[in-house]
Amino acid sequence: MHSELIPDHNALWFLPLGGCGEIGMNLNLYGHDRRWLMVDCGITFEPGRQHEVILPDPTFIRQRRQSLSGMIITHAHEDHIGAVPYLWPQLDCPIYTTPFTAEILRRKLASAGLLSRAPIIEVRPGERHAIGPFSVEWLQLTHSIPEPNALVIRTPAGHIFHTADWKLDPSPIVGPSYDRIRLQQLANENIRAMVCDSTNALVPGHSVSESSLYAGLKNVVAACEGRVFVGCFGSNIARLHTLARIAQETGRYLCLLGRSLQNMVAAAKTQDVWPRDVTLVEPGHAGYLPAEELLAVATGSQGEPRTALWQLANGRHPALDIEAGDTVIFSARTIPGNEPAVARLQSALKGRSVHLITSDQSDLPIHASGHPCQDELRQMYQWVRPQIAIPVHGEAAHMARNAVLARDCYVPYALTGENGDLFQLEGTPRCLKKFAAVGRLHLTPEGRLQSAPQRSDFIPIAG
Ligand SMILES: [Zn+2]
Ligand SMILES: [Zn+2]
């Protein structure tokens, strides 16, 4: 441990406490001029134990919280926002985020009794704010949730481009597309380091656009005779827009099954990212509709116990029974680690003579990832032209491949490390191994934080 070192005014440090070498529980720190800036504060789940929330151990920054200038939440996925209600009381700093994410955060803080205590500073995409010695610019990108933001973090010791989660989607349905001109301008802004999403670095080509799913999903739904249930991530508001449109066009009413979905849509309505002409039917009324008039979106595409799809498959849904001739469409990929739970869910559904349609069975795409494939990573390196690439948000193999792509694009340095390593970006860049103690905490059923065993595997939260 060398953690008695403090970043001075010449220093530009990056220190991940979570999310580097894994997909989940992102917690990043930037250090400069004796101050720290936190970017994201997320959770992860253990495979097969999805009810167990795992968080990064914040001890390093808690011990220095007098030097923590603020916390930025880039977007509202659980692996970026989920730990705020649990860790904020130990950190006690202002939280900066954009309006949709702020709405989700307020709901989380309210249920933890923290709403009146935690100061949220709402930022519009494109704005700049000074947070301690860091001047931060929010730059809207595209992903699989409203308002995904990259950050340009400027200090006198150098500038960082922190991508957070992104893809290059020319037609994201909700929100603007990415600003190609602005991203290209970064090449002239002397970006010292680009800290970048590696989730799909092993996947060749370019990600599928959210808007191109309409054709595949419409085909599938139009061919269904009974009720249609679609499993997808509730935070993907754009996917819900597509399904709402398809429901209207195929003479079906849209129904939302599952608390997290209903919560997300309620937030989307307050932030005006929900279509005004969509009528939702209450789950309690959906059972009375003729089978061919229902399209229900349901939580639980990962086989999580007690979610809507699980309840339907096990005959335990309070409002609806799933019957022979109904169809369940999985508009989501199975996250590594969840295969056994998804297989159990699917076999329970098959046991009820339900048609199953998964994304690998469909000719046209019915699911799109929210993360950049190899062509998009190359494109971003060519636009931004950083001096240093630091792949994060991936397992070792994803990050290593992202580093190779960066070098192929003539990025002079590509550094890979893991949680607790210190990336010193001033002078000759280097990575100091095991600079800070890191670990994982879990939440006991009584709501206390306890040290959790080391990671046996990982599970990312959202596509
Ligand atoms: Zn995300
Ligand atoms: Zn993420």
Place of tokens 């931060």: 136
For residues 431-442, average pLDDT: 95
Q: Give the pLDDT score at 359.
A: 87
Which homologous superfamily is 13-205+369-451 in?
Ribonuclease Z/Hydroxyacylglutathione hydrolase-like (3.60.15.10)
- Rounded to whole angstroms, the Cα distance separating 248 from 265 reads 18
Instruction: Dihedral sign for Cα 131, 135, 138, 144, please.
Output: negative
Query: In the chain, what percentage of residues exceed pLDDT 90?
Result: 89
Give Cα 189 to chain centroid, integer Å.
Answer: 27
CA distance 89 to 398: 33
Indicate the domain borders of the chain.
Answer: 13-205+369-451, 210-357
Q: Look at residue 50 in the predicted model and tell me its pLDDT.
A: 56
Given a cut of 70, whether residue 459 has pLDDT beyond it is no
Question: Which residues pair with residue 191 across a beta bridge?
Answer: 159
242 SS3 class: helix
Dist. CA 146 → ligand 1 center (Å): 10
Q: How many whole angstroms from 315 Cα to the centroid of ligand 1?
A: 32
SS3 (DSSP) at 19? coil
Tell me the CA–centroid distance for residue 145 and ligand 1, in Å. 7
Whether the predicted pLDDT of 301 surpasses 80: yes
- In the reported structure, the alpha carbon of residue 76 is separated from the centroid of ligand 1 by a whole-number distance in angstroms of 7
Closest CA to 168 of 384, 379, 447, 458: 379
**Other C-beta atoms within 10 Å of 64: how many?**
18
Q: How far is CA 433 from CA 83, 438, 445, in A?
A: 25, 12, 34
Would you say 368 and 210 are in contact if contact means Cβ atoms under 8 Å apart?
A: yes
Ligand located closest to 143 CA: 1
Q: pLDDT (tens digit, 9 = 90+) per residue, 330-350? A: 999 888 788 999 999 999 999
178-196 per-position pLDDT tens digit: 999 999 999 999 999 999 9
* Reported pTM: 0.95
Q: Which of 125, 199, 196, 128 shows the shortest CA–CA distance to 160?
A: 196
| C-alpha dist (Å) from residue 389 to 36, 73, 154, 195 | 21, 22, 16, 6
Distance 80 CA to ligand 2 centre (A): 6
Maximum Cα–Cα distance across the chain: 69
Helix (H/G/I), strand (E/B), else coil: 353 = coil
* Statement: residue 49 has pLDDT above 80: no
Residues with CB under 5 A from ligand 1 (ion): 77, 165
For residues 28 and 18, what is the distance between their CA atoms, to the nearest angstrom? Answer: 7
Q: Which of 450, 447, 424, 449 is nearest to 435 (CA)?
A: 424
What beta strand segments (E) does 157-282 contain?
158-164, 191-197, 228-231, 253-257
Question: According to the model, what pLDDT value does residue 461 have?
Answer: 41
Fold of 210-357: Rossmann fold (3.40.50)
How many Å lie between the centroid of ligand 2 and the Cα of residue 409?
24
pLDDT mean over 101-105: 98
Give residue-wise pLDDT tens across range 192-210.
999 999 999 999 999 999 9
The identity of residue 316, as a single letter, is R
